[in-house]
């Protein structure tokens, strides 16, 4: 019985070893059947990657705006209005010089601008430049229906205003002259009556 028990233990050990041997032998053929995977070759390559960097640049200077170009009639009108404004505060000597220059310019070229400049300085200079009748002769052509300044011309309102003022002043002068003439007639009548009374008194004496 002992021997049979030993044989049984030995047989079990041998069977286990055989199984292990069979298992080990089975792995060899399986490994031989796997396909070989090629190992890729590592190649070093330099790649340039763009890098964006923010750089503060000085702002470009803003170009100066082009000067506003006015139509010719508006530009002449503006220049004349500036001259007329300055003339109102000019001294008597400077005013006479400007009047002489405006008169010469008007005699050479009787344009609307020269005519209005001459009329304005004549009005500022007063009686030394002539009476109102002469001044009206300078202004009336500027507002005439034929040959006058267009209604849309920038200087048309200036000419109309001056003409209105001179016409009103002329009317007032005429009214004052009529009153003065009427008063003089009354005085002359009183003097005539007084003279008659004195003559009667003398004759009586």
Tokens found for residue 123:
């009005």
Nearest to 82 by CA among 28, 153, 154: 154
Structure confidence at residue 147 (pLDDT): 83
Model confidence at 196, in pLDDT bands (50, 70, 90)? confident
Mean of the per-residue pLDDT values of the chain? 76
Structure confidence at residue 150 (pLDDT): 87
Q: Does the pLDDT value for residue 32 go beyond 90?
A: no
| Percentage of the chain lying above the pLDDT 70 cut | 68
Model confidence at 9, in pLDDT bands (50, 70, 90)? very low
150 backbone φψ class: left, alpha, beta (φ>0; ψ -120 to 50): beta
Q: Please give the distance of CA 54 from its chain centroid, rounded to a whole number.
A: 37
9 or 197: which carries more pLDDT confidence? 197
Q: Does the pLDDT value for residue 21 go beyond 50?
A: no
Structure confidence at residue 141 (pLDDT): 92
Residue 80 to residue 75: CA distance in whole angstroms: 9
Structure confidence at residue 14 (pLDDT): 44
Model confidence at 10, in pLDDT bands (50, 70, 90)? very low
Tokens found for residue 16:
């286990």
Length reported for the chain: 205
Structure confidence at residue 86 (pLDDT): 87
Structure confidence at residue 118 (pLDDT): 92
3-state helix/strand/coil string of the chain: CHHHHHHHHHHHHHHHHHHHHHHHHHHHHHHHHCCCCCCCCCCCCCCCCCCCCCCCCCCCCCCCCCCCCCCHHHHHHHHHHHHHHHHCCCCHHHHHHHHHHHHHHHHHCCCHHHHHHHHHHHHHHHHHHCCHHHHHHHHHHHHCCCCCCCCCCCCHHHHHHHHHHHHHHHHHHHHHHHHHHHHHHHHHHHHHHHHHHHHHHHHHC
pLDDT tens per residue, range 92-151: 899 899 999 999 999 999 988 899 999 999 888 887 777 888 889 999 999 998 888 888
pLDDT tens per residue, range 35-76: 566 666 766 767 666 666 676 767 777 777 666 565 667 777
* Reported pTM: 0.53
């Amino acid at each position: 019985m002992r021997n049979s028990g030993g044989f049984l233990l030995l047989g079990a050990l041998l069977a286990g070893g055989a199984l292990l041997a069979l298992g080990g032998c089975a792995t060899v053929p399986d490994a031989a059947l796997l396909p070989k995977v090629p190992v890729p070759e590592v190649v070093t390559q330099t790649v340039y990657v763009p890098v964006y960097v923010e750089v503060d640049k000085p702002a470009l200077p803003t170009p100066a705006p082009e000067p506003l170009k006015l139509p010719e009639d508006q530009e002449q009108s503006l220049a004349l209005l500036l001259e007329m404004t300055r003339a109102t505060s000019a001294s008597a000597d400077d005013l006479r010089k400007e009047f002489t220059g405006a008169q010469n310019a008007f005699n050479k070229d009787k344009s609307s601008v020269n005519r209005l400049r001459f009329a304005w300085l004549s009005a500022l200079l007063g009686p030394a430049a002539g009476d109102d009748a002469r001044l009206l002769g300078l202004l009336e052509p500027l507002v005439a229906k034929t040959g006058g300044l267009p209604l849309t011309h920038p200087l048309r309102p200036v000419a109309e205003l001056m003409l209105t003022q001179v016409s009103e002043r002329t009317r007032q002068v005429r009214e004052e002259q009529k009153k003065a003439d009427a008063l003089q007639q009354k005085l002359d009548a009183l003097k005539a009556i007084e003279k008659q009374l004195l003559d009667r008194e003398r004759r009586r004496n």
